[in-house]
Amino acid sequence: QVQLVQSGAEVKKPGASVKVSCKASGYKFTNYGITWVRQAPGQGLEWMGWISPYTDNTNFAQKFQGRVTMTTDTSTNTAYMELRSLTSDDTAMYYCAREMAVTGTDYWGQGTLVTVSS
Amino acid sequence: DIQMTQSPSSLSASVGDRVTITCRASLYISNYLTWFQQKPGKAPKSLIYAASSLQSGVPSRFSGSGSGTDFTLTISSLQPEDSATYYCQQYNSYPLTFGGGTKVEIK
C-alpha cells in the first residue's frame, strides 16, 4: 500500500533552518510528484511547492522562493524539504503528499510539526 | 494566482441530512479540482479528484460535480464520522491553491 512517512517533530530557534524528510513506499517513486503543504495552528492549508523525483523540476509558491529547497533521493525513495531563516510564523504542521497531474494530490504523509521558538 | 472561495465556512446539520459545500475558482480550471476531508490532528484525506471522481475506498455518499469555475461537494446522507473540515484545491496551474475550508458539525 502507498505510504509516505515523515520525519519527527522539530523545535528550532528563529533564524535557523529545518529539513523534513518524507519516505515513500508502495509505488514507483519517480512516477509521481511530491508536493509540500503546511498548516499553521488552527489555520487552513497552504501549498508550498512541488518537485518531480523523475526530473528534479521544482515549482514553489512565491512567498517561499529563495527560502525553500526541495530535493529527492531516488535511491531511498525519499523527498526532502528544507526551509531557512525560520521565524515564529513558520510554526506549523508540514505535510508531504503524492501528486499526479491528472489525479491531483492523493496520499499524504502523517505530518511533521515544526515549532519555531526562542 | 487562482483564488478558491468556499462556502459556507461552517455548517451544522443532522445525521441523515443532505449537505452541500460549494467552491468557486477565480479563473477557469476545467475539472482540475480535488476535495479533501481533514479531521482534527490528522492529515487531509482525498475524497474526490477531477471534480467528480471518487477516490478508492471513499463512501458513495460523497459526490462532486462542476466544471470551469463552480464546483460542489455533496454528502447525500450525513453520518457522525463525517464531522470534519472540508477543503477544495485547484490543480489546474501552479501555484496550487486551496479554499479556506468548511467545518461540518453534527447537530
Contact B101, B23 (CB under 8 A): no
pLDDT tens-digit map of B92-106: 999 999 999 999 999
Q: Select the residue of A45, A97, A104 nearest B49 (Cβ to Cβ).
A: A104
pLDDT value of residue A93: 98
Segment holding A75, helix H or strand E:
none
Question: How sure is the predictor about A101, in pLDDT bands with cuts at 50, 70 and 90?
Answer: confident
pLDDT value of residue B88: 98
Three-state helix/strand/coil letters over B23-44: EEECCCCCCCEEEEEECCCCCC
pLDDT value of residue A26: 97
A to B CB pairs, distance under 8 Å? 61
Three-state helix/strand/coil letters over B47-100: EEECCCEECCCCCCCEEEEEECCEEEEEECCCCHHHCEEEEEEECCCCCCEECC
Q: Residue A103: its chain B contacts at CB < 8 A?
A: 49-50, 53
Instruction: For chain A, say whether B58 makes contact (Cβ under 8 Å).
Output: no
pLDDT value of residue A81: 98
pLDDT value of residue A102: 86
Question: How sure is the predictor about B26, in pLDDT bands with cuts at 50, 70 and 90?
Answer: very high
Instruction: For chain A, say whether B95 makes contact (Cβ under 8 Å).
Output: yes
User: Residue A30: helix, strand or coil by DSSP?
Assistant: helix
Distance from CA of A14 to the nearest CA of B (A): 25
pLDDT tens-digit map of A20-65: 999 999 999 999 999 999 999 999 999 999 999 999 999 999 999 9
- In sequence order, which residues have a C-beta less than 8 Å from that of residue B5 and are 6 or more positions away? B23, B24, B25, B26, B99, B100
> Is the Cα torsion angle A74, B55, A40, B27 positive or negative in sign?
positive
In this structure, chain A runs to a length of 118
pLDDT tens-digit map of B27-63: 999 999 999 999 999 999 999 999 999 999 999 999 9
Closest A-chain CA to B88: A45
Distance from CA of A41 to the nearest CA of B (A): 10
Q: Where are the beta strands (DSSP E) in chain A?
A: 3-6, 10-12, 18-25, 33-39, 46-51, 58-60, 68-73, 78-83, 92-100, 104-108, 112-116
Q: How far apart are CA B21 and CA B103, in angstroms?
A: 10
Q: Does the pLDDT of residue A103 top 90, yes or no?
A: no
Share of chain B above pLDDT 70, in %: 100
Burial class (CB in 10 A: 0-12, 13-18, 19+), B40: exposed
Q: Residue B87: its chain A contacts at CB < 8 A?
A: 44-45
Q: Residue A65: its chain B contacts at CB < 8 A?
A: none
- For residue B101, the tally of other CB atoms under 10 A from its CB is 19
In this structure, chain B runs to a length of 107
